[in-house]
C-alpha cells in the first residue's frame, strides 16, 4: 500500500538547494549527509498531499492546521512491509501531529511514501532500541537510540487523506 514516486530533476534540484542552505543540523546522525534525502522526502510528500512546506524543527508540512513531520531513510532496495521506520530518541518532543515516513532510493530516482502514524500512536506502538542494537527485521545496526515500528503498522497515506478530505 506504499506509494512509489519517481523523483524528477526539479525535485532533486529543490532538495539540493535546501540541503545546501541548511548545512549540518545539531544531533545529525549522518553529519548532514542525510539532508538531501530528508528534503527529497519532504518535497515528494508535500507535492503528494498538497500542503505547505514549513521547514521548522517541529514539523515539515502544514495542511489544514495539521502538522506533519516527514522521516526519510535512504535505501538500496524497494522497502518491504516488515522493514522498520525509526524516530531518533532526541526527537519525541517535536510539536507535530503526525509522522509520515519515506524511503529514498540511494540513486535518488525513486521515493516510497510508506505511510503515516499519529505521534501519540507511534510512541505507544513502537519499540525502543539503544544505539548498537539490531532492529530485528532487516538486521540493521541502529546508529542512535531510537523508537522503531514496522512499515506494515503504518496507515496508508491514501486512506488517511481520503478520510479527512472525503
Mean pLDDT by 10 residues, the chain (166 residues): 95 92 54 78 96 91 96 95 89 87 97 97 95 79 90 92 52
**pTM of the predicted protein model:** 0.88
Domain ranges, residue 84 = 3-165
Query: What's residue 142's pLDDT?
Result: 84
* The total number of structural domains that make up the chain: 1
Cell of 9: 530533476
**DSSP string for residues in the chain:** -PEEEEPPHHHHHHHHHHHHHH-PPTT-TTTTTTHHHHHHHHHHHHHHHT-EE---SS-SEEETTEEEEEEEEEESSPPPTTSEEEEETT-TT---SEEEEEEEETTSSEEEEEEEEEHHHHHHH-EEE-TT-B-SSS-PBPSS-EEEEEGGGSBPHHHHHHHHH-
Query: What's residue 166's pLDDT?
Result: 43
Query: What's residue 91's pLDDT?
Result: 66
Pairing of strands 98-105, 66-75: parallel
Amino acid at each position: 500500500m506504499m506509494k512509489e514516486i519517481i523523483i524528477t530533476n526539479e525535485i532533486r534540484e529543490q532538495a539540493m538547494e535546501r540541503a545546501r542552505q541548511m548545512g549540518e543540523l545539531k544531533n545529525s546522525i549522518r553529519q548532514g549527509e542525510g539532508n538531501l534525502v530528508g528534503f527529497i522526502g519532504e518535497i515528494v510528500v508535500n507535492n503528494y498531499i498538497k500542503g505547505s512546506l514549513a521547514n521548522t524543527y517541529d514539523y515539515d508540512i502544514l495542511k489544514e492546521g495539521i502538522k506533519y513531520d516527514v522521516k526519510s531513510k535512504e535505501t538500496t532496495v524497494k522497502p518491504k512491509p516488515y522493514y522498520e521506520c525509526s524516530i531518533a530518541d532526541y526527537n519525541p518532543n517535536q510539536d507535530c501531529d503526525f509522522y509520515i515516513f519515506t524511503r529514498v532510493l540511494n540513486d535518488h530516482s525513486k521515493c516510497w511514501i510508506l505511510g503515516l502514524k499519529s505521534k501519540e500512536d507511534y510512541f505507544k506502538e513502537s519499540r525502543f532500541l539503544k544505539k548498537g542494537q539490531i532492529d530485528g527485521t532487516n538486521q540493521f545496526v541502529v546508529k542512535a537510540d531510537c523508537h522503531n515500528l514496522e512499515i506494515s503498522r503504518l496507515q496508508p497515506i491514501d486512506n488517511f487523506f481520503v478520510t479527512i478530505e472525503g
